[in-house]
Amino acid sequence: MIQLSGWATILMSLGVCLLFIMQHLTRRHKPCRTKSLSWESILVTHERQWREVPTMRTKKMDEDSSVEISNKKEDNGPVCIGREDDVKKQRTTAIINDREILVFYHDGKFYAMDCRCYHAGGPLHLGEIEDINGQACITCPWHKYKITLATGEGLYQAINPREPSVTPKWRSKGVKQRTHHVTVDNGNIYVTLSDMSDSIDSDYYAEMYKKTINSSMKK
């Protein structure tokens, strides 16, 4: 009897131990909601962020790339945009064929060009005018690109590594900004849009803002 009760005690102790171990294991492997949720949420948030950023970018690029550059010839006659005296006093912007045109007077001459900078659509009507190598240029207020008033060429400073010099030289990137023709008749200023058969960099932003102009006119 004594032996049996000894065995019973051992068996009971083993049972208690087993129960304890089982309980412990169950508790350990029980999913910890807070922890697993928080990690999941962090992962999901990160994943979402990684997904969203490119999605937004792609969307924007798609929207941008949906801007078509129209080379259609539109009604191209001279358009009166104001009085000579007024334009002499201050720069004027005019909408001609839904295109935003900047017209201004500088050093005895009238100039007209697309109002949105060829680089990223900066507002050229807010740019300073300066002389660079004898050429009057407008400096875009956004990233300081220089554009000649007469031809719309983009200028940049360069150093030829074969002829090192302390002072960089101004060079032309070619015509980047579309310029237009200005005439004066009887005290009025007329602008004739340039021939659109060739594509020029500033056309992209002129077309993009055309959409904005059209949608704001519909409101």
Q: How far is the CB of 50 from ligand FES (least distance, A)?
A: 29
Nearer of residues 82 and 141 to ligand FES, judged by Cβ? 141
Give the binding site for ligand FES (CB under 6 A). 117, 119-122, 140, 142-143, 145
94 token code pair: 């005019």
Helix/strand/coil (H, E, C) string of the chain? Answer: CHHHHHHHHHHHHHHHHHHHHHHHHHHHHCCCHHHHHHHHHHHHHHHHHHHHHHHHHHHHHHHHHCCCCCCCCCCCCCEEEEEHHHHHHCCEEEEECCEEEEEEEECCEEEEEECECCCCCCEHHHCEEEEECCEEEEECCCCCCEEECCCCEEEEEECCCCCCCCCCEEEEEEECCCEEEEEEECCEEEEECCCCCCCCCHHHHHHHHHHHHHHHHHC
CB of 183: closest distance to ligand FES in angstroms?
A: 28
Q: How far is the CB of 171 from ligand FES (least distance, A)?
A: 17
Token code pair at residue 5: 């009760």
Query: Least Å distance between CB 121 and ligand FES?
Result: 6
CA distance 155 to 171: 6
Q: Which is nearer to ligand FES, 57 or 143 (CB)?
A: 143
In whole angstroms, what is the distance from residue 130 CA to residue 142 CA?
16
| Angle, CA 44 vertex, CA 43 and CA 47 arms, to 5° | 85
**CB closer to ligand FES out of 119 and 178:** 119
Choose between 145 and 209: whose C-beta lies nearer to ligand FES.
Answer: 145
Nearer to ligand FES by Cβ, of 92 and 177: the residue is: 177
| Smallest separation, CB 146 to ligand FES (Å) | 9
CB of 145 to ligand FES, least distance (A): 3
Cβ-based nearer residue to ligand FES, 142 or 170? 142
